[in-house]
């Protein structure tokens, strides 16, 4: 557990404890006051303080949290009003365990004259209670200068990630790793987690995946609707206004569509040219298509795992590097792992940026996952199984044919006798043909 920084002050009636904490869940906060002991817990933080006098929780006691400053202010009441608590500025004394308190107390030498002739009865030493209290130590300078997150402007958010693990974060020591180190750790982990059997199975049994590829999302429908409306409006304007050929140029009509207002465009110009937006949007669109537009309980994990900006907090130097990372993780972690599905997601990743994405071609060999080798193996296995099934069917049919060959003549004789019997019975009927038809 982490011992947070704190300060303690007092007045005649109350004690004030300021605890410096950050990145915790308010639902996990527990405060206990018993006698002169104060305990605070909020994972991963734990604080135990012992005061010179007794305190209590009453109607005047309170606790306030300032999330922006990362400060929890606790007010407790003194049982003996007007009592002065010494040494509140000595953190080592307030944090000391019972064993440490005995060591901190000054030792006094008592001199006593003893008559050697008297019989002295030695009293047995009382067994001391076991001290179960753990020592506490405040950590200083635990936040490094590593930057990560949106536009690489954050740090300190994963200081205690070892005490609060989760299923999305893949880097355990984020605060002390550079971007290049995080990239190397991601590549090693991805290579270790890649399951070739899973990929081969999705490559062969791809009926569900084909349905996902053919799925038309709401984004596609909205984009097509806007495209059609803008196209018709532009054609009307062209009919009313003379436009020179030089002003038209070779630009496609769809490139003239404006989805953003002037204010939004000015705001986007202030953003640095980074690739993390593509990474996150790709992960969102992959999850959206794989769930047919229906978010589920796995969506957060799905997006977080596919996006290496979320799971490893890495930065990308080029857009192609970003796409390669997206492709790799989409073939390693989600439920559906298919190359064609990843290609479809790239094409549908927001039409506004998809034009640039289409120009970037990703080869399977660039993922370093030997996909071509596994796909060839899958085809060979499938063809081998199919040929084995055909040979088994032919062998079974031949065996049955040999066994039934002996009965062919008998079957023909029986069929011939039955046919002759039917004909003779028809000849000897007493009813005319017309009456037979009427019946």
Q: What are phi and psi of 365, to 5 degrees?
A: -65, -25
pLDDT grade, residue 43 (50/70/90)? confident
pLDDT at residue number 96 = 84
pLDDT at residue number 163 = 56
pLDDT at residue number 192 = 93
Q: Which residue has the higher pLDDT, 145 or 379?
A: 379
pLDDT at residue number 434 = 38
pLDDT grade, residue 218 (50/70/90)? confident
Query: Which among 148-157, 231-240, 268-277, 346-355 has the top mean pLDDT?
Result: 148-157
Rounded to whole angstroms, the Cα distance separating 384 from 202 reads 18
pLDDT at residue number 427 = 42
Q: Which residue has the higher pLDDT, 329 or 143?
A: 329
Residue 210 scores a pLDDT above 70:
yes
CB 95 within 8 A of CB 101: no
Residue 133 scores a pLDDT above 50:
yes
| Number of residues in the chain | 439
Q: Which residue has the higher pLDDT, 432 or 94?
A: 94
Q: What tokens were used for 147?
A: 């930057």
Rounded to whole angstroms, the Cα distance separating 328 from 227 reads 32
Question: pLDDT of 338-347, one tens digit each?
Answer: 999 999 998 8
pLDDT at residue number 277 = 77
Domains assigned to the chain? 5-103 (2.60.40.790), 150-240+269-392 (no CATH)
**Angle (nearest 5°) at CA 212 between 195 and 342:** 50
Q: What tokens were used for 234?
A: 């532009």
The residue whose two tokens read 């020592």 is 135
Rounded to whole angstroms, the Cα distance separating 172 from 160 reads 9
The residue whose two tokens read 């990308």 is 316
pLDDT grade, residue 423 (50/70/90)? very low
Q: Which residue has the higher pLDDT, 258 or 345?
A: 345
pLDDT at residue number 177 = 82
CB 1 within 8 A of CB 45: yes
Tell if the pTM clears 0.75, that is, is over it: no
Q: Which residue has the higher pLDDT, 273 or 16?
A: 16
User: What average pLDDT does the chain have?
Assistant: 75
59-68, 102-111, 139-148: range with lowest mean pLDDT: 102-111
Residue 62 scores a pLDDT above 80:
yes
Question: pLDDT of 407-418, one tens digit each?
Answer: 555 555 555 455
pLDDT at residue number 123 = 46
CA dihedral 429, 432, 436, 437 (to 10 degrees): 150
Q: Which residue has the higher pLDDT, 432 or 367?
A: 367
107-116, 229-238, 277-286, 302-311: range with lowest mean pLDDT: 107-116
pLDDT grade, residue 147 (50/70/90)? confident
Q: Which residue has the higher pLDDT, 246 or 400?
A: 400
């Amino acid at each position: 557990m982490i011992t947070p920084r704190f300060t303690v002050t007092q007045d005649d009636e109350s004690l004030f404890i300021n605890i410096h904490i950050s990145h915790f869940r308010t639902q996990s906060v527990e405060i206990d006051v018993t006698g002169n002991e104060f305990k605070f817990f909020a994972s991963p933080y734990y604080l135990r303080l012992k005061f010179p006098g007794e305190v209590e929780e009453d109607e005047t006691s309170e606790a306030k949290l300032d999330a922006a400053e990362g400060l929890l202010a606790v007010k407790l009441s003194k049982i003996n009003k007007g009592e002065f608590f010494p040494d509140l500025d000595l953190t080592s004394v307030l944090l000391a365990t019972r064993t440490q308190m005995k060591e901190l107390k000054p030792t006094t030498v008592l001199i006593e004259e003893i008559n050697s002739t008297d019989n002295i009865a030695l009293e047995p030493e009382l067994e001391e209670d076991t001290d179960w209290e753990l020592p506490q130590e405040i950590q200083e300078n635990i936040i490094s200068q590593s930057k990560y997150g949106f536009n690489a402007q954050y740090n300190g958010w994963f200081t205690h990630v070892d005490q609060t693990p989760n299923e999305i974060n893949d880097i355990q020591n984020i605060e002390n790793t550079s971007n290049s180190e995080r990239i190397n750790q991601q590549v090693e982990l991805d290579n270790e987690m890649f399951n070739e059997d899973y990929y081969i199975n999705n490559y062969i049994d791809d009926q569900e995946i084909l349905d996902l590829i053919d799925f038309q999302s709401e984004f596609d429908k909205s984009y097509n609707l806007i495209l059609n409306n803008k196209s018709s409006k532009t054609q009307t304007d062209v009919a009313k206004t003379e436009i020179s050929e030089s002003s038209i140029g070779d630009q496609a009509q769809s490139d003239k569509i404006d989805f953003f207002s002037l204010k939004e465009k000015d705001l986007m110009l202030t953003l640095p040219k980074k690739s993390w937006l593509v990474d996150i949007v790709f992960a969102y669109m992959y999850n959206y298509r794989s769930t047919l537009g229906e978010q589920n309980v796995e969506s957060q994990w799905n997006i977080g795992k596919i996006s290496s900006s979320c799971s490893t907090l890495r930065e990308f130097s080029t857009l192609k590097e970003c796409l390669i990372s997206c492709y790799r993780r989409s073939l390693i972690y989600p439920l559906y792992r298919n190359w064609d599905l990843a290609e479809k997601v790239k094409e549908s990743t927001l039409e506004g940026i998809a034009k640039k994405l289409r120009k970037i071609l990703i080869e399977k060999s660039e993922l370093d996952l030997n996909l071509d080798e596994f796909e060839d193996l899958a085809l060979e296995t499938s063809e081998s199984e199919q040929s084995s099934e055909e040979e088994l069917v032919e062998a079974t049919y031949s065996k049955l044919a040999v066994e039934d060959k002996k009965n062919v003549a008998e079957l023909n004789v029986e069929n011939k006798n039955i046919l002759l019997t039917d004909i003779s019975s028809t000849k000897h009927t007493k009813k005319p043909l017309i009456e037979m038809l009427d019946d």
